[in-house]
């Protein structure tokens, strides 16, 4: 069974820890990871005539990957939200509304990719800042996942959960199983595990680790996570 790799990365609008906006650094991180699937959070894409300003298109072109937008906020100068980048064929895309009334809009990309001859569901999301907001959003997310349309699900996320045993985290672990907490924030000296990669079935998650390099410590305010995932054996019919 072949292995694939998936990256989850809050790119902070491509603004690094040094305060410099540099999409080229983020592109270099993605290329160096050699990930087959990339879930990005906090991507800002504006059309001001500069190629690098439309961060989604710029990163996709630099990395030779297809892009799926997950805009959940319109700003005066562009779109802001999640992005899925992948080398695999895109079969279907849905966008989940995870917005809690009275709070900043939030959402998730819910896409089916063709991997090894079958559909794999990939979700990219970024949850809210308040505990009540995250509880609301995880409930909505689990409701969507209750419709099981593929055998494998990959969740690439910044869950913004500061408490190691917060309820939203426990609910996600009930659905996906536990995985090791990896400290990803703040990038120069990570103290908190805000970013997570889950895979269902859990046995398909071979390894997950922080991609700590001199570049990732400055390119964003988060360290990216990289996962190795084992694809499933084809179903034998008849």
Identify which of 60, 129, 157 has the alpha carbon closest to the alpha carbon of residue 69: 60
Structure confidence at residue 166 (pLDDT): 85
Residues of the chain with pLDDT under 50: 237-238
Per CATH, the homologous superfamily of domain 3-230 is Endonuclease/exonuclease/phosphatase (3.60.10.10)
Collapsing DSSP to helix, strand or coil, 59 comes out as: helix
Backbone angles phi, psi at 209, to 5 degrees: -150, 165
Structure confidence at residue 238 (pLDDT): 46
Q: Give, in order, the Cα–Cα distances in Å from 55 to each of 86, 129, 145, 173.
A: 15, 24, 29, 32
Structure confidence at residue 76 (pLDDT): 66
Structure confidence at residue 71 (pLDDT): 79
Structure confidence at residue 48 (pLDDT): 66
Instruction: For residue 76, give the H/E element and its range.
Output: none
β 3-10/37-45 pair status: parallel
Joined tokens for residue 119: 């559909």
Backbone angles phi, psi at 47, to 5 degrees: -110, 85
With contact defined as beta carbons under 8 Å apart, do 179 and 228 qualify?
A: no
Joined tokens for residue 65: 């990957």
Structural domain boundaries in the chain: 3-230
Sheet of 37-45, strand order? 66-75, 78-86, 37-45, 3-10, 225-230, 205-210
Structure confidence at residue 1 (pLDDT): 67
């Amino acid at each position: 069974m072949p292995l694939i790799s998936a990256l989850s990365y809050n790119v902070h609008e491509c603004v690094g820890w040094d305060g410099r906006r540099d999409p080229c650094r983020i592109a270099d991180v993605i290329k160096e990871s050699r990930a087959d699937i990339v879930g990005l959070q906090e991507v800002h894409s504006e059309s001001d005539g500069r190629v690098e300003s439309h961060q989604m298109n710029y990163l996709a072109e630099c990395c030779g990957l297809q892009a799926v937008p997950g805009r959940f906020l319109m700003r005066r100068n562009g779109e802001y939200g999640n992005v899925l980048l992948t080398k695999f064929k895109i079969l279907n895309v849905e966008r989940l509304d995870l917005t809690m009334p009275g709070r900043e809009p939030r959402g998730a990309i819910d896409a089916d990719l063709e991997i090894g001859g079958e559909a794999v569901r990939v979700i990219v999301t970024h949850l809210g800042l308040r505990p009540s907001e995250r509880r609301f959003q995880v409930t909505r997310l689990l409701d969507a996942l209750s419709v099981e349309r593929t055998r494998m699900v990959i969740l690439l996320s910044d869950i913004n959960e500061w408490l190691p045993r917060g309820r939203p985290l426990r609910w996600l672990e009930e659905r996906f199983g536990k995985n090791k907490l990896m400290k990803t924030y703040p990038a120069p000296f990570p103290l908190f595990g805000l970013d997570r990669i889950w895979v269902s079935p859990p046995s398909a998650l071979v390894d997950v680790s922080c991609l700590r390099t001199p570049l990732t410590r400055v390119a964003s305010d988060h360290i990216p996570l990289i996962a190795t995932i084992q694809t499933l054996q084809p179903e034998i019919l008849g």
